[in-house]
Homo-oligomer: A and B are copies of this chain.
């Protein structure tokens, strides 16, 4: 059998989000690469080999997986959420492009998953019901000025904004700076959703108006979503509110 590399999205941290395709591909793998906490979610058989690496070693991890697959193995690379959204699928492509010719001849398959913003949106209502964008707030891979330009463009054009990688120990001020920047474009009462650990036992959804959005409400496991001027909140008494963006723009047609 020829070697093969499959990049698999596990979805948010609960098996109820794992697609049958992802489960099947996990079962086919002889070697499973990934960030340790993601691999922890996979129940491995004794004949499967786990190869965990640190969060910041995507390039080296992708190269190791490609080498193993080119040598003839069935290799899986696991990713939280969807592997195509700020995750391992692009890291693998980067290595394929700059690597040896044999890596281009390899069978590579990407298995999509439920990405964090979809799970957070579902837990909060339907904030992504209208046009939206996703921005990684990490300035490890792009200059902060580019992040600012995109925040300005998205907010002023009326996109709902999902922020991935909002904050970390090494990047403590960026989320506060992003809120400050967005306040120049958006009404003070624009809903901001802090969605943490969705699908896990410690899931939490916190909603604040933009004027009171506090970066300390987020950590590395949080997806932050900022509404557009059209985004609304339906209060429901003791039930959690529904935050949603109407499908129509302005007056209902």
Residues of A with Cβ closer than 8 Å to B? Answer: 9, 11, 15-21, 24, 58, 82-87, 89-94, 96-97, 104-105, 107-108, 110-115, 118-119, 121-123, 125-136, 140-143, 146, 149-150, 152-154, 156-159, 232, 234-237, 239, 242, 244-250, 253
Contacts and interface: CB of A to CB of B under 8 A. Distances in A.
B126 A242 contact: no
Nearest to A127: B84
A234 B104 contact: yes
A109 B19 CA distance: 19
Identify whether the interface residues of A are mostly helix, strand, loop, or mixed: mixed
Contacts of A24: 16
Given A20-B16, A84-B129, A114-B112, A239 B107 contact: yes
A244 B142 contact: no
Contact of A17 (B21, B122, B245): B21
Given A90-B246, A247-B90, A19 B21 contact: no
A242 to B, nearest CB: 5
A175 B113 CA distance: 28
Contacts of A250: 142-143
Nearest to A232: B97
Contacts of A149: 157-158
A153 B142 contact: no
A133 B131 contact: yes
A142 B248 contact: yes
Given A133-B154, A153-B154, 14 more contacts: A16-B20, A19-B19, A58-B247, A84-B127, A87-B129, A90-B246, A93-B126, A93-B244, A108-B242, A113-B114, A114-B114, A133-B134, A141-B249, A153-B157
12 contacts: A15-B20, A17-B19, A82-B118, A84-B127, A89-B125, A89-B126, A93-B129, A110-B123, A142-B250, A153-B153, A154-B154, A154-B159
B21 A20 contact: no
Nearest to A113: B114
Nearest to A245: B90
Contacts of A159: 133, 150, 153-154
A170 to B, nearest CB: 14
A16 B19 contact: yes
Which of A90, A140, A150, A156: most chain B CB closer than 10 A? A90
